[in-house]
Chains A and B, each alone.
Chain A
Amino acid sequence: MATPLQLGFQDAASPVMEELVHFHDHALMVVYLISSFVLYIIITLVMMKLTNKHAHDSQEIEIVWTVLPAIILIVVALPSLRILYLMDEINNPHLTVKAIGHQWYWSYEYTDYKDLSFDSYMTPTQDLTPGQFRLLEVDHRMVVPTESPIRVLITADDVIHSWTVPSMGVKMDAVPGRLNQTTFIPSRPGVYYGQCSEICGANHSFMPIVIEAVPLKHFEDWSTSMLEFT
């Protein structure tokens, strides 16, 4: 989950998010180098006494400051395209979950074997127990098995919502009448939070998403108990 005064990304919980974090570090380093170089040039220009009143041309420097930026762009673009294609790779998922956005809660359906579906409402602040997170906790979490490709099909019942879990590197709009697909692989067990990311009315800020990634055996036990419960 996000923490106060946080500057960077949340810890990655899926391989794709790890790659995105590494790429971000790489691109940001390029940005820091260019920015500090430009800042240095500006300060030097402003502080020095020498001035050149006779403008000349110079083929050499023109070539350098054309080729070098092109190289820098390639150095940024190649890892970017690599990740783009990595995210688009075809994988046969182990599980399909449907996430349906409503005003103002999410509902999840697990219908590969039996019909399991439940609603996921935000826990009101006054009902939180000590240690729980304000505006992030829900009554029923979306439980998934770890280390398995999960396909999530996202749609909405009324207006456009958006389903996101930043630590998994996943965000997808929930559009009524359309079924959007995204996949992710939870690398490790844990609880991962997200919040609705498309303005959808009065309680847009109060319909969070919580994924609980557990080992497969626990997932099977959970789904059996949920079927009995619902």
Chain B
Amino acid sequence: MGALKGQLGISLVLERRAPARAYERESERASERAREREAPPSDRSVTEQPPAEQEKMAEDFKTKLEMYRTAPFDARFPNQNQTRNCWQNYLDYHRCQKALSAKGQDITPCDWYLRVYKSLCPAAWVTKWDEQREEGIFPGKI
């Protein structure tokens, strides 16, 4: 029992001590996980779901969007500096949009990220990033 606790303690310590530079990679992985979490709890990917289930997902999602008040607490960004929260949701929306459009699917699931980044990001930043994307000089990877 003591050995198990020790192992758990070590793994927790290792997680807490993740260096700051790894935060970016962690953030990317976390947003990947967040996207996967929104997928249905089955072992088939979204594209393989039967149409009925896909529709149910879309309905649930619409309800979630209708109940939207403001960006909820995001445990990936628990502190005062929310710059990364805004940036990450902006990236996630455009990546989601790009990925789902490439597969020819409905991009409604991406609207969550849209609502969150609209809540968080100053309009001037969004305008600037949109212009940068149009000119092809956007610094993020979409």
Assess A179 versus B70: contact at CB under 8 Å? Given A90-B78, A153-B82. Answer: no
Q: How far is the CA of A94 from the CA of B123 in the complex (A)?
A: 20
Partner of A96, one of B78, B80, B120, B123: B120
Q: Mark A144-169, 1 if CB is under 8 A from B, else 0.
A: 00000001010101000000000000
- Whether B72 is near chain A, meaning CB under 8 Å from some CB there, is yes
B82 to chain A, nearest CB (A): 5
- Whether B124 is near chain A, meaning CB under 8 Å from some CB there, is yes
Q: Which residue of A lies closest to B71 (CB)?
A: A96
> How many chain-B residues does the 8 Å CB contact rule pick out?
21
Residues of B within 8 A of A (CB): 68-73, 78, 80-83, 85-86, 115, 118-124
Assess A93 versus B124: contact at CB under 8 Å? Given A111-B119, A177-B83. Answer: no
Residues of B close to A111: CB separation below 8 A = 118-119, 123
Beyond known contacts A153-B82, A179-B121, A181-B81: 16 more, CB 8 A cutoff: A93-B70, A94-B70, A95-B70, A96-B120, A100-B122, A111-B119, A111-B123, A112-B68, A153-B120, A178-B81, A178-B83, A179-B81, A179-B120, A180-B82, A181-B80, A182-B80
B3 to chain A, nearest CB (A): 33
A179 adjacent to B119 (CB under 8 Å): no
Q: Which residue of B lies closest to A93 (CB)?
A: B70
Partner of A98, one of B72, B73, B122: B122
A96 adjacent to B70 (CB under 8 Å): yes
- Whether A6 is near chain B, meaning CB under 8 Å from some CB there, is no
Residues of B close to A155: CB separation below 8 A = 122
- Whether A117 is near chain B, meaning CB under 8 Å from some CB there, is yes
Q: Which residue of B lies closest to A173 (CB)?
A: B80
Q: Which residue of B lies closest to A111 (CB)?
A: B118
From B68, B73, B86, B119, name the one whose CB has the most chain A CB atoms within 10 angstroms: B119
Q: Which residue of A lies closest to B115 (CB)?
A: A112
| Shortest beta-carbon contacts, A-B, top 10 | A96-B70, A179-B82, A179-B83, A181-B82, A112-B70, A96-B119, A111-B118, A112-B119, A178-B83, A90-B73
